[in-house]
Amino acid sequence: MLKLICLSILFIVTCNGMPGGYKDRPELLNDPIIHSLTSFGVEKLFESQNLKLTNVKVTRVQTQLVAGTNYKIDFTAKSVRTEAQTTCQMVIFVKLDGQRTLSQSQCQ
C-alpha cells in the first residue's frame, strides 16, 4: 500500500510540477487577462518608480497557485525617458476576490 501511495505522489508531481512552484503557461501569452494584468503592473511601475514604458510585449507567463494566484510576467518594453529597450519581470498577486497587487518588479 505504501508503494502505491509513493507512486501516486510521484506521478502527480511528475505531471503537474512541484506543488507550490511556478508553472510555465505559454498558452497565456496572448490572453486578454494577462495583458490587463501587465497594463496594471506597468501603471504601478510608473506610479512608484516614474518609469514610463511603451511597446510592451509579453514574452513569458508563469503562474503559482497560493491563496489566489501569482502571475509572474516577463516582458520587453521601450523606456520613454531613455528610448532604450528594457526587459522586465513582475509578479502580480490576484486574490480570490479579484483584487490585484504588484508584489515584485524588476527591469534591466
Residues across the chain = 108
pLDDT band of 19, cuts 50, 70, 90: low
With H, G, I as helix, E, B as strand and everything else as coil, classify residue 63.
strand
Task: Report yes or no on 37 lying in a domain.
Answer: yes
Question: What is the rounded average pLDDT of the residues 6-15?
Answer: 44
1 is a domain residue = no
Residue 9 lies in a domain: no
Is 55 contained in some domain? Answer: yes
Q: Please give the residue range of the domain that contains residue 93.
A: 22-107
In a domain, 8, yes or no: no
CA 3/CA 85 separation, integer angstroms: 53
Number of domains in the chain: 1
Q: Could you give the CA distance from residue 17 to residue 60 in angstroms, rounded to a whole number?
A: 17
Residue 108's pLDDT band (boundaries 50, 70, 90)?
confident
